[in-house]
C-alpha cells in the first residue's frame, strides 16, 4: 500500500492559552490602548477574511457580523491579556483547529515563531525581541494546564531541568518564587538562576518546594533533544520493551531525532541486520517490542509522517547471510502507539496510516481531530495570528473534528497522578504478552 500522505505543509496545532498583559501603548495610555486594540481587531478580521480556507463557514457564521458584535468589548479591554482572550473567543466561533491569537506571554507564541522562521516579523522587531539570536524563551521544560482554578503539570520534556529536578506530570504548581505560576512570566529574566517551585501532590495535601534552574529554551531543538533523551527500555516478565516519545514532526530533523532515539535502543531502522561485524557483545540486547508515544506537543509536515512509518516498519525484505546468522534488530509487527488529545496534525496523519496498515494497536484516547494546513501572521505589537489556510482529506477521510480513535481505550488521569501513566502500562502489558505468546 502506498505511503504517500500528501505534500501539504501542516503547521503545528497549539493548545492556545490566554495571553498575558503587555504594554504596547503610547501616551495618553487609555485612548491609545483602545485605538490599538481596534486596529488589532481590524487586522485580525481582515487576515481571517483573506486567508481562512473555509469561505463557506465564514459566510455561514456571518464573520463580519461576529466581528462587529465583539468589537466594543475588545476595544474596551483593560489590557492585552483580556483583549487576547476576547479575540480568541471570537475566533473560537469558527470552530476550526490551527486558528488562534497569541502574544509573547504564550509559550506557543515562541513555538510558532520557531516553526515559521519568524513568521515574516520585520527584522528589526525580531532582533529587538531576541537580540539577533534564535527564538528562545525562559523556562524549565514543563507544560501546564489549568483545571478547576489550579495549574497542573501536563507534559514534561525528557532531560529538561524540570524532569531532572523531579517534577512529575500531575503535580499541582502552587507558586513560583512565592508568586502565582505563569508559564512565561514566572521565568522571564531568570535564565541561569534557580526558581523555587512550590508543588502539591495530593489534593489539599502538604506542599513542597523544588528548586529548578531556568534555561533559555529553543523550542524545536528542545523537542528533538527530548525525543532522543526519552529512549529507554522497560523490562516486564522477562521481555524488553523499547519506548520513545515523539515531541514534534517538523521536517527532517524530527525524523533524525526519532532515528537517533531508536538507535540508542539498538533498533536498526535501515531494515538490514547489524553491520558491526562479530561484535555482538557491543550491541544492545534485541527488543521484544517497541512503543512510540505520539502524545507530543506539536505537529509539522506531512512528509515527516511518511518517514516515521518507514522508520518503524521499513519496506523491503529483511536480508541476512545464512552462513553468518545474526540476531534481528527489526521491530516489524511488534509495535504499539500511544495517543490522546495531544496527538494532532502530523501526529494524526501518522497514526491514521499506522492504523490503516494494521501495524499495531493504538492505545489511549481519541486524538485531537486537528488536521489543517496553517500559517502564522504577524499582527500589530508583534503578536501572532494563527490561521488554517487549507482543509485536508486523508485517504478520503476527514480527520478535522473526529480525529482517530484508539484500538484500546485507556484514560490517563492528570491531577495529583504523581506521574502515573496507565496508557504506557497497558502498552507494555500488550507487547510483553504478545512476545511471550510468540515464543511459546
The pLDDT value given to residue 301:
80
Residue 117: helix, strand or coil by DSSP?
coil
Which of 22-36, 339-353, 419-433 shows the lowest per-residue confidence on average (mean pLDDT)? 22-36
Q: Is the pLDDT of residue 283 over 80?
A: no
Neighbouring CB atoms inside 10 A of 64's CB total 12
Q: Are 342 and 297 in contact (CB under 8 A)?
A: yes
Residue 403 has pLDDT above 60, yes or no: yes
Per-residue confidence (pLDDT) for residue 365, from 0 to 100: 98
pLDDT class for 146, splitting at 50, 70, 90? very high
- Give which of 440, 413, 437, 438 is closest to 425, Cα–Cα: 413
When pLDDT is cut at 50, 70 and 90, the band that residue 333 belongs to is confident
Mean pLDDT of the region 233-241: 94
**Mean pLDDT for the stretch of residues 376-386:** 92
Strands 362-364 and 335-339: parallel
Give the per-residue pLDDT at 131: 65
Least confident of 79-83, 132-136, 406-410: 132-136
Q: What angle do CA 126, 130, 135 make, to 5 degrees?
A: 90
Asked if pLDDT for residue 226 goes beyond 50, the answer is yes
Average pLDDT over residues 306-323: 70
Residues of the chain with CATH 3.90.226.10: 219-275+282-315+327-371+392-438
Query: Is 84 or 305 the better-scoring residue by pLDDT?
Result: 84
Q: Measure the CA–CA gap between 221 and 47, rounded to whole angstroms.
A: 30
Q: Is the pLDDT of residue 3 over 50?
A: no
> Strand, coil or helix: what is 254?
helix
Question: In the predicted model, is pLDDT for residue 306 greater than 90?
Answer: no
Domain limits, CATH 2.30.42.10, in the chain? 137-217
Is residue 267 within 8 Å of residue 329, measured between CB atoms? Answer: yes
CATH number listed for the domain at residues 219-275+282-315+327-371+392-438:
3.90.226.10
pLDDT above 70: percentage of residues in the chain: 80
Percent of the chain whose predicted confidence (pLDDT) is above 90:
64
How many Cα atoms occupy the beta-carbon half-sphere of 370 within 13 Å? 28
Q: What is the pLDDT of residue 294?
A: 96
For the CA atoms of 246, 222, 298, 74, the dihedral, rounded to the nearest 10 degrees, stands at 160
CA distance 337 to 348: 11
332, three cell numbers:
516489524
**Adjacent-strand bridge partners of 387:** 375
Q: What is the pLDDT of residues 243-279, one digit of tens each?
A: 999 999 888 899 999 999 999 998 865 544 444 444 4
Q: What is the pLDDT of residue 302?
A: 81
Question: Which of 430, 431, 296 lies closest to 368 in space, CA to CA?
Answer: 296
Q: How many CB atoms lie within 10 A of CB 317?
A: 8
The residue among 18, 101, 90, 119 whose CA lies nearest residue 387 is 101
Q: Rounded distance, CA 243 to CA 358, Å?
A: 19
**Structural element, H or E, at residue 30:** helix 29-51
- pLDDT of amino acid 421: 98
Residue 345, all three cell numbers: 496534525
Specify the pLDDT at position 19.
33
Q: What is the pLDDT of residues 9-30, one digit of tens each?
A: 444 443 333 333 333 333 334 4
Q: By mean pLDDT, which of 269-278, 318-327, 371-380, 406-415 is the weakest?
A: 269-278
Domain 137-217 has CATH 2.30.42.10: yes
User: Left (φ > 0), alpha (ψ -120 to 50) or beta: where does 297 sit?
Assistant: alpha
Q: What is the dihedral of CA 307, 371, 248, 113, to 10 degrees?
A: 120
Burial class (CB in 10 A: 0-12, 13-18, 19+), 165: middle
Q: How far is CA 279 from CA 242, 274, 287, 321, in A?
A: 22, 10, 18, 16
| Neighbour tally for 272: CB within 10 Å | 16
Q: Give the helix ranges, DSSP H, for 133-240.
A: 161-165, 219-229
| pLDDT the model gives residue 303 | 85
The pLDDT assigned to 22 comes to 33
Would the pLDDT of 289 be above 50? Answer: yes
- Cell numbers standing for residue 11: 503547521
**What b/e readout covers 360-386, taking b as 16+ CB neighbours within 10 angstroms?**
bbbbbbbbbbbbbbbbbbbbebbbbbb
Q: pLDDT-based confidence at 328, cuts 50/70/90?
A: low
Res 320 pLDDT > 90: no
How high is the pLDDT of residue 373? 86
Indicate the range of 56-60, 167-171, 372-376, 397-401 predicted with least confidence. Answer: 397-401
| Residues 163-178: tens digit of each pLDDT | 999 999 999 999 999 9
C-alpha cell belonging to residue 121 = 516579523
Task: Give the Cα separation of 432 and 426 in Å (integer).
Answer: 10
pLDDT given for residue 51 in this prediction: 96
Amino acid at each position: 500500500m502506498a505511503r504517500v500522505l500528501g505534500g501539504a505543509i501542516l503547521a503545528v496545532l497549539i493548545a492556545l492559552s490566554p495571553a498575558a498583559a503587555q504594554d504596547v501603548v503610547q501616551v495618553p495610555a487609555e485612548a491609545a490602548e483602545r485605538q490599538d486594540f481596534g486596529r488589532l481587531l481590524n487586522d485580525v478580521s481582515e487576515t481571517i477574511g483573506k486567508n481562512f480556507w473555509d469561505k463557506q463557514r465564514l459566510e455561514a457564521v456571518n464573520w463580519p457580523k461576529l466581528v462587529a458584535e465583539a468589537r466594543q468589548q475588545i476595544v474596551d479591554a483593560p489590557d492585552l491579556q483580556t483583549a487576547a482572550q476576547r479575540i480568541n473567543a471570537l475566533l473560537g466561533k469558527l470552530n476550526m483547529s490551527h486558528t488562534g491569537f497569541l502574544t509573547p506571554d504564550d509559550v506557543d507564541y515562541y513555538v510558532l515563531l520557531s516553526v515559521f522562521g519568524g513568521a515574516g516579523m520585520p527584522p528589526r522587531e525580531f532582533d529587538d525581541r531576541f537580540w539577533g539570536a534564535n527564538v528562545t524563551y525562559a523556562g524549565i521544560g514543563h507544560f501546564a494546564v489549568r483545571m478547576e482554578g489550579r495549574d497542573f503539570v501536563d507534559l514534561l520534556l525528557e532531560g529538561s531541568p524540570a524532569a531532572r529536578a523531579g517534577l512529575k506530570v500531575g503535580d499541582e504548581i502552587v507558586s513560583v518564587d512565592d508568586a502565582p505560576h505563569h508559564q512565561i512570566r514566572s521565568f522571564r529574566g531568570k535564565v541561569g538562576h534557580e526558581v523555587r517551585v512550590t508543588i502539591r501532590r495530593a489534593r489539599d495535601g502538604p506542599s513542597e518546594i523544588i528548586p529548578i534552574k531556568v534555561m533559555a529554551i529553543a523550542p524545536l531543538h528542545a523537542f528533538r533533544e527530548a525525543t532522543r533523551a526519552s529512549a529507554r527500555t522497560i523490562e516486564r516478565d522477562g521481555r524488553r520493551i523499547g519506548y520513545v516519545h515523539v515531541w514534534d514532526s517538523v521536517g527532517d530533523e524530527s525524523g533524525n531525532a526519532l532515528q537517533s532515539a531508536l538507535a540508542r535502543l539498538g533498533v536498526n531502522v535501515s531494515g538490514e541486520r547489524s553491520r558491526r561485524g562479530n561484535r555482538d557483545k557491543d550491541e544492545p540486547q534485541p527488543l521484544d517490542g517497541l512503543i512510540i508515544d505520539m502524545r507530543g506537543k506539536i505537529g509539522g509536515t506531512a512528509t515527516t509522517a511518511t518517514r516515521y512509518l518507514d522508520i518503524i516498519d521499513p519496506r523491503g525484505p529483511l536480508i541476512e547471510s545464512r552462513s553468518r546468522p545474526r540476531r534481528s534488530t527489526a521491530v516489524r509487527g511488534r509495535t504499539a502507539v500511544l495517543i490522546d488529545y495531544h496527538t494532532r496534525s502530523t501526529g494524526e496523519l501518522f497514526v491514521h496510516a499506522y492504523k490503516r496498515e494494521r501495524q499495531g494497536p493504538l492505545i489511549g484516547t481519541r486524538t485531537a481531530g486537528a488536521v489543517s494546513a496553517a500559517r502564522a501572521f504577524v499582527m500589530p505589537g508583534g503578536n501572532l495570528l494563527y490561521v488554517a489556510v487549507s482543509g485536508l482529506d486523508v485517504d478520503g477521510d476527514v480527520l478535522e473534528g473526529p480525529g482517530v480513535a484508539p484500538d484500546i481505550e485507556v484514560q490517563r488521569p492528570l491531577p495529583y497522578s504523581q506521574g502515573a501513566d496507565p496508557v504506557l502500562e497497558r502498552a507494555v502489558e500488550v507487547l510483553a504478552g504478545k512476545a511471550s505468546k510468540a515464543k511459546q
